[in-house]
Structure 1
């Protein structure tokens, strides 16, 4: 059973990379088989369709987001430091985001037609991030409605920065977005 799960995980990881780098629509199951080293006919043992693979990729997005947020939560109790740690974690992927865009946003867009369930699942990653930011801002004394708005603004800044930096192939655009996110989250007004 462990070997089966390992092969399934290899297929999902291969699909995730190909969907991100070349796009969901143009990636075939044959491409995924070649990238994974698993024969094409064997893919159907694990997944009935490319749409099912998309759901597996979306599950990875959510799991990785949950792990990252749990690590940040365990690292420090101070909400402002947690927010700083989040920005630092997101900035670690600057180079790959400039080169290829955001895999989560691309997945949401690309999965929507053929696998709406996968698109919705991928979007949960953004909901997790917004919820985390909003809670931490709330813990720092900001009203819940204001905290939620700031959290959405921060995510919008991040995604817009990725899109523009990717389009222009200019990492400074995304670096500037991270500085704006830091200012937005670190100097947000508290309810005093």
Structure 2
């Protein structure tokens, strides 16, 4: 495994600051301060904040792709894998309560700014949408897999937003369980429908 470069450290610091402070409210000086490098060294790696944003989005995409592959390996069934998606809310609840969902907050901010990278940021949602759609298809919900994927994505975003607003970790746990129950009911419906056909 390669050692992290100065560029990697800049991107990591920017990723954290964009999440905690927002893209617009994070300056070059903020990022340089965290990495503890000179302005000159900073500009050697990135000429603009937009360049850093593109790098951050690419790192987030790569990290999520690794996470989804891990869920594929660890989850024996599509149901187990979808549960992994839901449980990420519980795993990250402290961060979510403080700062919201990293994907949702960035997409919303870039949309408000009408930023050129808005579509690139939305690729993170598309990544999860496509993956969830595949899991629901494997559950036997071929005809409405995308609708179910979008419903679960929307619900998880709503939970994250309200948990941030009310600073309520218990709410996340309760809603995560309800989402798991809902997903299980979709699998049960599929099984029942197949039995009625035979």
How does the TM-score come out when normalised to structure 2? 0.87
**Structure 1 residue 66 displacement after superposition:** 0.4
1:152-185 CA distance string (max 9 Å, x none): 1111111111111101111122223212321222
Q: Please report how far the alpha carbon of residue 20 of structure 1 lies from its aligned counterpart in structure 2 after TM superposition.
A: 1.1
Query: Match of 1:42?
Result: 41
Residue number among 145, 148, 160 corresponding to 1:147 in the alignment: 145
Q: Which runs of 5+ in 1 are unaligned?
A: none
Structure-1 residue corresponding to 2:174 = 176
What is the rounded CA distance, in whole Å, between the counterparts of 1:74 and 1:99 in structure 2?
31
Contact 1:58 1:107 in 2 (8 A): no
Q: Unaligned stretches of 5+ in structure 2? A: none
1:64: how far off? Answer: 1.5
Residue 132 of structure 2: SS of its match in structure 1?
helix
| CA distance 1:58–1:165, change in 2 (3 Å) | same
* CA–CA separation in structure 2 for the residues paired with 1:70 and 1:115: 30
Q: Aligned residue for 1:159?
A: 157
Cα offset, 1:111, TM superposition: 3.2
Q: In structure 2, what is the Cα distance between the partners aligned to 1:46 and 1:68?
A: 28
Q: What is the Cα deviation at residue 87 of structure 1?
A: 2.2
- Runs (4+) of structure 1 exceeding 6 A deviation are none
Q: What is the CA distance between 1:86 and its match in structure 2?
A: 2.5
Matches of 1:121 and 1:91, distance apart in 2: 26
Confirm whether residue 116 of structure 1 aligns to residue 116 of structure 2. Answer: yes
The aligned counterpart of 1:17 is: 16
Q: Which residue of 2 aligns with 1:100?
A: 99
Shift of 1:71: 0.3
What is the CA deviation profile of residues 118-176 of structure 1, one whole-angstrom value per residue up to 9, with x for unaligned ones? x22221111111111111111111133x1111111111111111111101111122223
Structure 1 match to 2:135: 136
Q: Which structure's CA Rg is the greater one?
A: 2
Aligned mates of 1:114, 1:16 — CA distance in 2: 20
Conservation of the 8 A alpha-carbon contact between 1:98 and 1:169: yes
Q: What is the root-mean-square deviation in Å for CA atoms of aligned residues?
A: 1.8
CA drift of 1:114 comes to 6.8
Instruction: Using structure 1 for the length normalisation, give the TM-score.
Output: 0.89
Give the paired residue count.
Answer: 188
Q: Distance in 1 between matches of 2:47 and 2:76?
A: 44
Per-residue deviation, 1:115: 4.1
> Relative to structure 2, which stretch is displaced further, 16-25 or 168-177?
168-177
